[in-house]
Amino acid sequence: RESATWQHTDQRDAALLSLVNSLGEIDNGSKNSSQSDFLQPDLRWIDTSGLNPQLISVLRRVQYAERSECSRFVKRDNFTSAILFTNEMNYPNEVLSDAGYRLLTLFRLWNAVHYFFPYRTLTTIHWDSSLTTFIPRLAEDDNIRNFELSIYECIARLDDSHAGVSGYSSLPHIMGARRLAIDVEFFDTTAIVTNVYRSPDLENEAHVGDEIVSIHSEPVSRLVRHLRRFVPASHDGCLYRDIPTLMLRTDSAVGVVTVRRNGRLHSVRIPTSQHDVLGTAHGEYRRFVSAANQQNIGIINMEHFHTDSLRMYAQRLRSFSALVVDVRRTAGNHGLVELGEFFLPWPTKVALFSTPDCTTPGRFVNEREHSFGSRS
């Protein structure tokens, strides 16, 4: 900490050299790459940062050091090969009033992504800009709610629907303690009411089929632009799938919503509830499979996949001459394994997965083949 500021580069290099040497003896390893390597860490900065030759030599020894196992803080899940971060101290909200702990939280997140997320170079907003964006914000603002929103926003920059945050306030609850008593689904970029919840003591003026134009005078397009900053969506289909969960949040007992109905605008009052789930939507099976308008082509909508879907539609699925599988509004391999088992008569290799090497942060190796198809 006392060496955090240097007047000259030689002081910097001496401090870094002392730090590396304090880590103990280094066993020399191999410089040869393996044929299974998919991605190697970019360590060109060692040669391009203006370090002195002695420090460069030591850092290269660290790069090629023999490491036979993961560290105390980085483990590997034996079943999924995913990286697990262990033995790290949780920071309670009380200490997050200190800028140092807020910045440490950001650096933990940044390091995890920088060394163990191979798609960080493919994000819409370049990941390397995250530190310059969020360091000033977290250093200057000690509001816990704003801190949590900044972490959600940082995660959303991964453009990956698998990403998420746990241990903080629920993002929907940050947006509002209540939710409008309707369900909304986007068709392209148009928000349509798909379900209306009513009770004897609550009047709900919304109708199924209404187009939502604005909520509390805020246009839907502006709401989407604001909320998309916090949604880690792999693509626009996932974005518009997840946006309604946040868009319907409010702290008001009654929502004032402008809708377009039969070509005319109406201002309607919609009650709100403190419950996140208001009821069970029906009709999911009905839209799982449909027919295109020509050439006997079937369309499978994996957003509505259910464990019974293939059994229920087996005969109809096999009657099509071709099938289009629509996965635009799904994340991951939701239902795709079951689909492969259904259509392929024997195991067929369809993918080769690369997994992170916990002994060399930033290195990914090809080692997991994935097969679809019946095993009987």
Does residue 86 contact residue 73 with C-beta atoms inside 8 Å?
Answer: yes
The pLDDT, as a whole number, for residue 278 is 66
Name the DSSP class of 202. Answer: B
Query: pTM for the whole thing?
Result: 0.75
Taking the CB of residue 275, how many other CB atoms lie within 10 A of it?
11
Three-state SS for the chain is: CCCCCCCCHHHHHHHHHHHHHCCCCCCECCCCCCCCEEECCCCCHHHHCCCCHHHHHHHHHHHCECCCCCCCCEEECCCCCCEEECCCCCCCHHHHHCHHHHHHHHHHHHHHHHHHCHHHHHCCCCHHHHHHHHHHHHHHCCCHHHHHHHHHHHHHCCCCCCCCCCCCCCHHHHHCCEEECEEEEEECCEEEEEEECCECCECCCCCCCCEEEEECCEEHHHHHHHHHHHCCCCCHHHHHHHHHHHHCEECCCEEEEEEEECCEEEEEEEEEECCCCCCCCCCCHHHCEEECCCCCEEEEEHHHCCCCHHHHCHHHHHHCCEEEEECCCCCCCCCHHHHHHHHCCCCEEEEEEEEECCCCCCCEEEEEEEEECCCC
Cα of 359 vs its chain's centroid, Å? 25
Domain ranges of the chain: 9-63, 173-273, 283-331
pLDDT for residue 282: 37
- Predicted local confidence at residue 54, as pLDDT: 94
Residues sharing a CB contact under 8 Å with residue 59, sequence separation 6 or more, in sequence order? 20, 46, 51
The ranges of the chain with pLDDT < 70 are 1-7, 31-33, 201-202, 277-287, 293-294, 307, 329-333, 374-376
Second CATH level (architecture) for the domain 173-273 = Roll (2.30)
Looking at the DSSP assignment, which residues form a beta bridge with residue 368?
Answer: 353
> What is the H or E stretch that residue 238 is in?
helix 236-247
For position 285, what pLDDT does the model report? 38
pLDDT of residue 281: 40
